[in-house]
Amino acid sequence: MKIHVRTYGCQMNERDTESVVSMLEVKGHETARDEKEADIVIVNTCSVREKAENKALGKLGLMIATKRDRPGRLVGAMGCMVQRLGERILDRVPGLDFAIGTERHHRLGDVIDRVLAGGGPVVEVEEDRELLEHAEELTGHVAGRPSAFVNILFGCNRGCAYCVVPSVRGRERSRSAESVLAEVAGLAEAGVREVTLLGQSVMSYGRTNEAWGGGHASPNGFTEPLARLLEAVAGVEGIERVRFTSGHASGCTDELVRAMAEVPEVCEHLHLPVQSGSDRILKMMRRGYTADDYRAAVARLRQAMPGMGITTDIIVGFPSETEEEFGETRRFMEEMAFDNAFIFKYSPRPGTPASKWEDDVPAEEKMRRNHVLLEDQDRRGLALNGALVGSAVEVMVEGVSLRNSSRWSGRTRSNKIAVFRPENGLASGDMVDVVVEKAMAQTLYGAIRNVDKGE
């Protein structure tokens, strides 16, 4: 049967979608080009913000409505919202055929078989935390793409006051380095040139459970688990770029910074969420650092790697956030000169400590603060990118631009999007030098100077 998955949320969800699609293809299903062609539509849900849940619920409702004209179609849900709601999702989404939580993705093929056999609706959200044991079943990737996500850490132990991730993704569990390296080697053999190592708090890799066995010495003398893994992944033949996300200020140790600076394949970019520039708000959020701690982490990164791209997340309108504290965040962002920032309006999430506090910043004020920071970031991004006009940047070609079919696009090592005119023989995965001719707040535009074929 033809299957289409609509994904909401973070890169972990994107990776989950890719892995279950690959698994279902192995089981004999076919990937539909879009939802109109699909016999089975699955919505991969997110619970980090109320808006994300509402989008997923709306999409599920629309897809279930199509069953009136296509009574044989199945509609299912997977991911964080399913894990949070459990059986209650059937009340929220009448007509849903199946739902599967974050720990049970490896069971998706069997669940679909049960529904097709007339055993639905089926909901599986058992909190057995067995996902690590089934990681090898979920290592498939979509063929033909030059970059790939690789899960290295499941769950999160941070316990931020506003975040549902620990309840929907579980406690931290690190994959073994041996398993990760085997997956990366397989990707390289399939033509992948860039890998992004994923974890909700990726710098915690190897801290909760043993990730490294014996028999692997670090040529550069790294002892911290993530630093060792970056070095080892970079050493896999065929891998030319290594990224990892998402970071935490407390994880920017001297050794990790040294690994990023000394291992050529590790890209000069880090997504390092700060959430607020106010120490009082950071303490309420339970982020585990002060604004000065964050400053020091960024300073270490930029001193070791001039031109380092730093992106971040910001929450505006957190309970009791004053105008003065919002101003602290605004000034902090200007000081840090972030290359990009993802700015969100606070919404209480059920079961979190912050949900018990009064959500006392009015919605219109949250919106105003959001717009102010977005405008600031556009101005800042335009200035930062404008400084690159006339210079050449290395870009890994991803393919035809989504917004202009006559142009191709890719990303720089510092994770900036670059759009350029294609040349004959250009292929996805090629490394090209692009001379920047024009810059916008989030995009570079230019022309290719040379091509490094990826054979």
DSSP letter at 133 equals G
User: Using CA of residue 409, residue 7, residue 226, residue 237, what is the dihedral sign?
Assistant: negative
- Contact (Cβ atoms closer than 8 angstroms) between residue 277 and residue 324: no
Q: Cα–Cα distance between 197 and 243 in angstroms, integer?
A: 6
Q: Which residues of 417-432 are buried (b: 16+ CB within 10 A; e: fewer)?
A: bbbbebeeebebbbbb
The token pair that represents 73 in the structure block? 């179609």
Strands (DSSP E) contained in 209-277 are 241-245, 269-271
pLDDT value of residue 440: 97
Read off φ and ψ for residue 326, nearest 5 degrees: -60, -40
At 199, which amino acid appears? G
Q: What is the pLDDT along the chain (455 residues), one digit of tens a residue?
A: 999 999 999 888 999 999 899 889 888 999 998 899 999 999 999 999 899 999 999 999 999 999 999 999 999 999 999 999 999 999 999 999 999 998 888 889 999 999 999 987 999 987 655 555 665 656 677 777 899 999 999 999 999 999 999 888 888 999 999 999 999 999 999 999 999 999 999 999 999 888 997 767 899 999 999 999 999 999 999 999 999 999 999 999 999 999 999 999 999 999 999 999 999 999 999 999 999 999 999 999 999 999 899 999 999 999 999 999 999 999 999 999 999 999 999 999 999 999 999 999 999 999 999 999 999 999 999 999 999 999 999 999 999 998 888 999 999 999 999 999 988 889 999 999 999 999 999 999 999 987 676 55
Q: Give the per-residue pLDDT at 26.
A: 87
Residue keyed to tokens 């044989």? 72
Taking the mean position of all CA atoms in its chain, how far away is CA 344?
16
User: How many whole angstroms separate alpha carbon 135 and alpha carbon 39?
Assistant: 27
Q: Where does 300-383 show beta strands of DSSP type E?
A: 309-316, 340-345
d(CA 41, CA 345): 30
Q: Length of the chain in residues, anyone?
A: 455
Report pLDDT for 126: 73
pLDDT at residue 143, as a whole number? 76
Q: Domains plus CATH for the chain?
A: 2-124 (3.40.50.12160), 141-267 (3.30.750.210), 272-386 (3.30.750.200), 392-452 (2.40.50.140)
Dist. CA 26–CA 345, nearest whole Å:
40
Q: How far is CA 158 from the centre of its chain?
A: 17
Q: What is the CA radius of gyration of the chain?
A: 22
Cβ–Cβ < 8 Å for 44, 35:
no
Q: Which residue has the tokens 């105003």?
A: 368
Beta bridge partners of 309: 269
b vs e for 378-411, b when ≥16 Cβ sit within 10 Å of the residue's Cβ? eebbeebbeebeeebbbbbbbbebeeeeeebbbb
